[in-house]
Chain A
């Protein structure tokens, strides 16, 4: 069965850095676009970034552009999010998700990992 398992979350001070990882299994990871989506406590979903299957296409939400970097390692079936210059408003549960083949629906989701940025 498909599994997406996030790790690397935790408590970090404002201005600090954190690297999230997402380990994928149960599907052909290298064939799929992948994405990070976050949800602040009690709030709605916010798309953060996506990366194409070969890492050729990458895009970010304006709120994280220049601070966050998405990457992937197809040999390790893993997705990453390097988060720098963290702010209190980055506090959220971060989900990794795979996109459906050739479209923009988020088919599979991880269980989410909490990132808390303290001021």
Chain B
């Protein structure tokens, strides 16, 4: 199972919106609504930001939103803040009953 494809890096200025894409295939992202997104700050464990494509866990800011179209899922962060600077990973369930992560995207807040 190949890793999902994410851009290596994205950047934006405070207050702007950015979108991170996550491209898979008809066997994973395209097949199920089990896409999740994680934020990882340096030296820390990842944190769940979005599950089931577009649901936010309790306590996660509504500046974070998720969507999916075909084989590509997206994470959008609006009203960008300095504290959003981190690595972001997507993850999808697959038709082999396994899970696969994306390669990760480094978000820089300019």
Contact of B98 among A47, A95, A112 (CB under 8 A): A47
CA distance A46 to B100 in the complex (A): 7
Flag if A44 contacts B3 (CB, 8 Å). yes
Binds B, one of A11-19, A66-74, A77-85, A102-110: A102-110
Flag if A106 contacts B48 (CB, 8 Å). yes
CA distance A8 to B110 in the complex (A): 40
Flag if B101 contacts A45 (CB, 8 Å). yes
Chain B residues near A107 (CB-CB < 8 A): 48, 51, 57
Contact of A45 among B47, B89, B97 (CB under 8 A): B89
CA distance A100 to B101 in the complex (A): 17
Flag if A59 contacts B98 (CB, 8 Å). yes
The answer to whether B104 has its CB under 8 Å from any CB of chain A is: yes
Flag if B103 contacts A111 (CB, 8 Å). no
Flag if A61 contacts B38 (CB, 8 Å). no
Chain A residues near B100 (CB-CB < 8 A): 47
The answer to whether A29 has its CB under 8 Å from any CB of chain B is: no
Residue of B34, B40, B45, B91 contacting most chain A CB atoms (<10 Å): B45
Count A-side interface residues using an 8 Å CB cutoff: 23
Q: How far is the CB of B85 from chain A (nearest CB, A)?
A: 17
> Are A62 and B1 also in contact (CB < 8 A) when A47-B101, A105-B51 are?
yes
> Are A103 and B52 also in contact (CB < 8 A) when A45-B38, A95-B45, A109-B45 are?
yes
B93's closest neighbor in chain A, by CB?
A104
CA distance A30 to B44 in the complex (A): 26
Chain B residues near A103 (CB-CB < 8 A): 34, 51-52
B98's closest neighbor in chain A, by CB?
A59
Residues of chain B in range 50-97 having any CB-CB distance to chain A below 8 Å: 51-52, 57, 89, 91, 93, 96-97
Flag if A45 contacts B46 (CB, 8 Å). yes
Flag if B46 contacts A47 (CB, 8 Å). no
Q: 5 closest pairs, A vs B, by CB?
A: A105-B51, A109-B45, A105-B36, A44-B104, A47-B99
